[in-house]
Structure 1
Amino acid sequence: MSTTRRAAVVAIVVCALAFTIAVPLRTYLSQRAEVSEQEARQKQLQEQVERLEQRQAELSDPAQVEAEAKRRLRYVMPGETPYIVQLPGDRGDEAQPVRGEDEPKRNTAWYENLWNGVTEGE
Structure 2
Amino acid sequence: MAKRPQLTGRAAILAVVVCAIAMSLAYPFREYIAQRRQIAELEQEQAQALQHLRNLEDQRRKLEDPDYIKQLAKKRLHYCEPDAKCYVLLDGKDKAVTVKAEAKKSGTAPWYVTLWQSVQAADAGDGQKAAS
Which residue of 86, 89, 93 maps to 2:90? 86
Aligned residue for 1:62? Answer: 66
Aligned length: 103
Q: CA 1:16 to 1:33, structure 2 compared with 1: closer, same or farther past 3 Å?
A: same
* Alignment CA distance shift 1:104-1:88 (3 Å): closer
Q: 1:21 aligns with which of 3, 12, 25?
A: 25
Residue 8 of structure 1, aligned match among 5, 12, 15: 12
Q: Offset of 1:4 from its aligned partner?
A: 4.0
CA RMSD of aligned residues (A): 3.2
- Classify the secondary structure of the residue corresponding to 1:90: helix
Q: Which residue in 1 is equivalent to 2:106? A: none
Please list the CA deviations of residues 17-66 of structure 1 after superposition, one character each: whole Å capped at 9, or x if unmatched: 01111111111111111111122222222221111111111111112112
Structure 1: 5+ residue stretches without partners: 108-122
Match of 1:119 in 2: none
In the alignment, structure 1 residue 40 sits paired with structure 2 residue 44: yes
Which amino acid letter does the alignment assign opposite residue 87 of structure 1?
D
C-alpha distance in 2 between matches for 1:28 and 1:104: 70
Aligned-partner residue type, residue 26 of structure 1: R
Q: TM-score, normalised by structure 2?
A: 0.59
Query: Which one has the bigger helix percentage?
Result: 2
Alpha-carbon offset, residue 70 of structure 1: 2.6
Query: Given the alignment of the two structures, is residue 31 of structure 1 paired with residue 35 of structure 2, yes or no?
Result: yes
Structure 2 residue runs of 5 or longer lacking an equivalent are 100-111, 126-132
